[in-house]
Homo-oligomer: A and B are copies of this chain.
Amino acid sequence: MRDVFHEQLDAVFDDLAEICRRVESSVHRATESLLGGDAALAEQVISDDIEIDRARERVEDNAFSLLSLQAPVAGDLRVVVAALRMVSELERMGDLSVHVAKIARLRVPAIAVPDEIRPTVQRMAEIAEDMVTRASQIILSRDVRAAIELGRDDEIMDQLRRTSFAQLLSDDWAHGVEAAVDIALLGRYYERIADHAVSIAHRVVFVVTGENPRSVAATEAAAEAGA
């Protein structure tokens, strides 16, 4: 029984990693449509989101049948529930890239992001996409150290958001209210994508160690300090 359970559980995590790669592509293309003012690409991101939703349903069905048929307890139970939570977060990340694509579409043939703030937005998008890429690797590798590392990158995103606000609110800002509102919302969407990636990484730490990431990081730091 045990082996069937763990095989099926591995299959669930493989599916999660696969969905995470879809989300990565969605974030990537949404950014491309945003920075290139590409309406067709934006449409594609919006219509492709249904595939992420469908993949989520499949993972949920598999996780439920695992719970029903194998009735795992303790640690195993928490792992399956963690998988269910991870898939909800992945779906949200897909929705957030749809929001980015919708801002792109709304401004075509113009480009929502003025040249002057483009490097900041591009950097936010890159960080978000990179965090999603690493989250999918972490789901597959169950690499606790990489997962804790990912959590630390959240700070860079915070900083970029502060930079973007400073630019929007400076006296030099010559692009008016509409562009400023777009940038503020885009920043929020990329920040939330990054938050979810961190949360997924933290759930992997929990899945592997049975502990929450903060205590694992503290133990590691203490070990390093003692070494």
Binding site for B on A (CB under 8 A): 64, 67-68, 71, 73-74, 77-78, 81, 84-85, 88, 165, 168-169, 173, 176-178, 180-181, 184-185, 188
- When distances are taken between beta carbons in the complex, the residues of chain B under 8 Å from A185 are 184-185, 188
How far does the alpha carbon of A224 sit from the alpha carbon of B81 in the complex, in Å?
39
A212 to chain B, nearest CB (A): 11
- 22 residue pairs bridging A and B, Cβ less than 8 Å apart: A64-B77, A64-B78, A64-B81, A68-B73, A68-B77, A71-B71, A71-B73, A85-B85, A88-B88, A165-B181, A168-B177, A168-B181, A169-B181, A173-B177, A176-B177, A177-B180, A180-B180, A181-B184, A184-B184, A184-B185, A185-B185, A185-B188
Contact A177 B188 (CB under 8 A): no
How far does the alpha carbon of A68 sit from the alpha carbon of B78 in the complex, in Å?
9
How far does the alpha carbon of A165 sit from the alpha carbon of B106 in the complex, in Å?
13
How far does the alpha carbon of A89 sit from the alpha carbon of B173 in the complex, in Å?
37
How far does the alpha carbon of A24 sit from the alpha carbon of B69 in the complex, in Å?
38
How far does the alpha carbon of A176 sit from the alpha carbon of B175 in the complex, in Å?
11
How far does the alpha carbon of A67 sit from the alpha carbon of B82 in the complex, in Å?
14
How far does the alpha carbon of A188 sit from the alpha carbon of B185 in the complex, in Å?
8
The CB with the most chain B CB atoms within 10 A, among A67, A71, A165, A177, is that of: A177
- When distances are taken between beta carbons in the complex, the residues of chain B under 8 Å from A81 are 64, 67, 81, 84
The CB with the most chain B CB atoms within 10 A, among A67, A85, A168, A169, is that of: A67
- When distances are taken between beta carbons in the complex, the residues of chain B under 8 Å from A84 are 81, 84-85
| Chain B residue at smallest Cβ distance from A60 | B81
Contact A178 B188 (CB under 8 A): no
Contact B180 A169 (CB under 8 A): no
| Chain B residue at smallest Cβ distance from A175 | B177
How far does the alpha carbon of A8 sit from the alpha carbon of B169 in the complex, in Å?
52
A208 to chain B, nearest CB (A): 18
4 further A-B pairs in the complex, CB-CB below 8 A; given A71-B73, A81-B81, A188-B188: A67-B81, A71-B71, A88-B88, A168-B177
How far does the alpha carbon of A65 sit from the alpha carbon of B188 in the complex, in Å?
36
